[in-house]
Amino acid sequence: MQLGMVGLGRMGANMTRRLMRGGHTMVVSDLSADAVKGIAGEGAVASSSLDDLVSKLNPPRAAWIMVPAGDPTEKTVQALISTMQVGDAIIDGGNSNFKDDVRRSKLCAAKGVHYVDVGTSGGVWGLERGYCMMIGGPKETVQRLDPIFKTLAPGRGDIPRTPGREKMAGTAENGYIHCGPSGSGHFVKMVHNGIEYGMMQAYAEGFDIFKNATSKELPEDIRYDLNLPDIAEVWRRGSVVSSWLLDLTAIALTENPTLSEYSGFVQDSGEGRWTIQAALEEAVPAEVLTAALYTRFRSRQDHTFAEKMLSAMRQKFGGHVEPKSH
């Protein structure tokens, strides 16, 4: 298929590369002319503006937006709506609030343009591993774009099949699903990120307890000088708490068991806050996710080893670079 990619940052550029490897034709746009030139040198079609990008796409067109959530995405959607035609599709693959998707989908529908929201997980590793995608939007449009999603997704790989799954249809085993109407894709990704906060916090607190097992406040006979890289590694091997986040933790601890290059200042990207807001609106208790979010707020005041663990995991899966420790 032919697809326009707007935004050539860490994820947009690698998604473009993965799609080109899969045989798709990519027309690219970015505020950085150098970024466009670089990807064009790898086989993409360069464009000088959003209007130019749309002009180089064949109807029914499809343009994937991979720019920061909020105002940059809003301005890009508005610009594309003004130049796209009936039957074209706008895909937001960033981390937009699902309520913004619902509003934008109505604006697009008024112009006959289809709007698809895609919650995308995979971070800087997605080029090789593939991207897990949670998709919202009109069923017919999502089906038309399926070759794009199939190429970006990781596929079944070597993950053992869930017992009984052979009786079920769908694309979930390939790493992507159509969740439902507009906004549902980013809603599922939002909660995914909220859960991610909680999982990361649990690992971080556990390893903080290990690190402080040498505390002079403890009786000498129950002080333990533990090998944190070895603990992370052994848990990867058959433990019920194994996960990709633990894999990344093991990498970070192997590189530097003290994590001294991390400050412990931990940002939140927005989805955690929105998850808690959704829980409040639904009157659903979310104690763990709420506590994990508040810990990120506190991390900006004083830093523990647990927060350095969180910084390390964020850097490993998403390329997020926290301020260095002083």
- Mode of pairing for the β-strands spanning 2-6 and 25-29: parallel
Q: Is the dihedral of CA 277, 278, 283, 287 positive or negative?
A: negative
Beta strands in the chain (DSSP E): 2-6, 25-29, 45-46, 62-65, 89-92, 114-121, 132-136, 176-180
Separation of alpha carbons 113 and 84, rounded Å: 7
**Under DSSP, is residue 42 helix (H, G, I), strand (E, B) or coil?**
coil
| Residues 72-92: b if buried by 16+ CB within 10 A, e if exposed | ebeebbeebbebbeeebbbbb
Residue found under tokens 């260095």:
324
Instruction: State the catalytic residue, choosing from 140, 150, 196, 233.
Output: 196
CB atoms inside a 10 Å sphere around CB 10? 16
99 in catalytic set? no
324 in catalytic set? no
The order of strands in the sheet holding 132-136 is: 45-46, 25-29, 2-6, 62-65, 89-92, 114-121, 132-136, 176-180
Cα dihedral: 244, 22, 58, 37 (round 10):
80
Separation of alpha carbons 34 and 17, rounded Å: 16
Instruction: State the catalytic residue, choosing from 189, 211, 308, 316.
Output: 189
- The residues that are catalytic are 189, 196
